[in-house]
């Protein structure tokens, strides 16, 4: 009897103590960027194009920046210029996973071949494609970990989301949609990004300024740089880079993987409370 009373008391004390601790922690929970920066910027480039090697990466490096390059497994450039992609990764850029065959919803995009219609995939097939793309990129850059970018920002197969299924393969994933109003609204496995089509330098800068205002992150999805599909001109790209350079005291420009490592560690206490 005595023992039971003691156990009850001890449990109550522990419970009260934990509640107090949680309340205390809740008050002190505040998302912060490293070195008192105001926002983060991730410059990402999709589909493994020659212009990434020839135009985008050299431009980034002139300013001391590193980007994330979502290289599709069947990229022609990855096949013909493998050594250059390897060297680019060795200089600090991230080679991200963008599937092997770039499947997307054929009902939305008329260029999708029936073989690569995401809605004709099974989850098993997609997961094995993502795993194999990780192996391929590991053979190129020697890295064990990389982030993922949903192809066409599509994240469902026959209406069912696979956002939770990919957690075993990646530390974070880039999706689409509006910039979050606050960092505690970010799901690290579907981080919004802006897919640009012929943006002006001013528009790109405005997007970053929105992130500064909100204390959030600006993730920009580029494809061609300096000519090609879903293009950004070299001039607009350069205008953005110069702006980022001039504001390096308040902006953290880094790969999606590096930025998300920080974001996930900062968000951990928030998730502990909401789960
Ligand atoms: Zn793509």
Cβ atoms of 181 and 158 within 8 Å: the answer is: no
Distance 208 CA to ligand 1 centre (A): 22
pLDDT at site 90: 98
CA of 98 to the centre of ligand 1 (A): 7
CA 34 to ligand 1 center in whole angstroms: 30
The three-state secondary structure class of 266 is helix
Give me the domain span that covers residue 161.
Answer: 42-274
How far apart are the CA of 102 and the centre of ligand 1, in A? 6
Q: CATH code at 193?
A: 3.20.20.370
Residues within 5 Å of ion ligand 1, judged at the Cβ atom: 46-47
| 47 CA → ligand 1 middle, Å | 5
Instruction: Answer whether residue 190 is part of any domain.
Output: yes
- Residue 116 domain flag: yes
* Cα 247-252-258 angle, rounded to 5 deg: 160
Instruction: Encode pLDDT of 195-237 as tens digits.
Output: 999 999 999 999 999 999 999 999 999 999 999 999 999 999 9
Instruction: Residue 173: name the closest of 183, 165, 182, 185 by CA.
Output: 165
| pLDDT above 90 as % of the chain | 86
Find out whether 190 and 173 touch, Cβ atoms under 8 Å.
Answer: yes
Structure confidence at residue 267 (pLDDT): 87
Q: What is residue 270's predicted lDDT score, i.e. its pLDDT?
A: 63
Strands 148-149 vs 173-174: parallel, antiparallel or unpaired:
parallel
CA of 222 to the centre of ligand 1 (A): 9
pLDDT tens for each residue of 80-136: 999 999 999 999 999 999 999 999 999 999 999 999 999 999 999 999 999 999 999
Does residue 50 belong to any structural domain of this protein? yes
Query: Ligand 1 centroid to 68 CA: how many Å?
Result: 13
- Tell whether the model's pLDDT for residue 150 goes beyond 90: yes
Name the pLDDT band for 152 (thresholds 50, 70, 90).
very high
Q: HSE (CB half, 13 Å, CA atoms) of 126? A: 26
pLDDT above 60: residue 12? no
Q: Detail the DSSP E strand segments found in 98-171.
A: 148-149, 156-157, 160-161
CB 175 within 8 A of CB 186: no
Residue 107 maps to a domain: yes
| 8 Å CB contact between 148 and 169 | yes
Lowest-confidence region among 7-16, 26-35, 94-103: 7-16
> Which tens digit of pLDDT belongs to each residue from 44-86?
999 999 999 999 999 999 999 999 999 999 999 999 999 999 9
Show Cβ contacts of residue 209 under 8 Å, excluding neighbours closer than 6 positions: none
Half-sphere exposure of 178 (CA within 13 A, CB side): 5
- d(C-alpha 227, C-alpha 249), whole Å: 31
Residue 70 has a CB neighbour count (10 Å cut-off) of 29
Residue whose tokens read 């997307």: 104
Domain count, the chain: 1
What are 170-180's pLDDT values in tens digits?
999 999 999 99
Ligand 1: centre distance to CA 214 (Å): 28
* Contact between residue 43 and residue 67 where contact means Cβ atoms under 8 Å apart: yes
Query: Is the per-residue pLDDT at 256 higher than 70?
Result: yes
Query: How far, in Å, from the CA of 152 to the mean position of ligand 1?
Result: 6
Is 12 a domain residue?
no
In a domain, 261, yes or no: yes
- Alpha helix stretches (DSSP H) within 73-178: 76-80, 82-90, 123-141
- Is 28 contained in some domain? no
Q: Are 174 and 147 in contact (CB under 8 A)?
A: yes
């Amino acid at each position: 009897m005595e023992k039971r009373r003691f156990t009850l008391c001890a449990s109550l004390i522990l419970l009260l103590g934990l509640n107090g601790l949680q309340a205390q922690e809740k008050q002190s929970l505040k998302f912060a960027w490293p070195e008192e920066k105001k926002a983060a910027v991730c410059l990402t480039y999709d589909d493994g194009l020659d212009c990434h090697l020839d135009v985008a990466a050299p431009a980034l490096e002139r300013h001391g920046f590193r980007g994330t390059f979502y290289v599709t497994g069947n990229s022609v450039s990855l096949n013909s210029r493998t050594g250059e992609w390897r060297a680019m990764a060795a200089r600090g850029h991230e080679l991200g996973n963008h599937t092997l065959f770039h499947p997307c919803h054929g009902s939305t995009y008329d260029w999708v071949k029936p073989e690569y219609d995401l809605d004709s995939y099974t989850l098993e097939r997609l997961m094995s494609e993502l795993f194999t793309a990780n192996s391929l990129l590991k053979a190129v850059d020697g890295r064990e970990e990389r982030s993922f970018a949903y192809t066409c920002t599509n994240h469902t197969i026959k209406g069912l989301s696979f956002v939770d299924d990919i957690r075993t393969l990646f530390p974070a994933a880039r999706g689409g949609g509006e910039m979050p109003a606050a960092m505690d609204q970010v799901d690290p496995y579907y981080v919004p990004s802006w897919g640009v089509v012929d943006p002006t330098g001013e528009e790109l800068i405005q997007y970053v300024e929105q992130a500064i205002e909100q204390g959030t992150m600006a993730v920009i999805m580029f494809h061609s740089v300096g000519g090609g599909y879903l293009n950004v001109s070299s001039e607009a790209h350069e205008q953005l880079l110069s702006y980022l350079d001039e504001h390096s005291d308040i902006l953290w420009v880094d790969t999606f993987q590096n930025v998300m490592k920080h974001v996930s560690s900062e968000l951990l206490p928030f998730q502990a409370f909401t789960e």
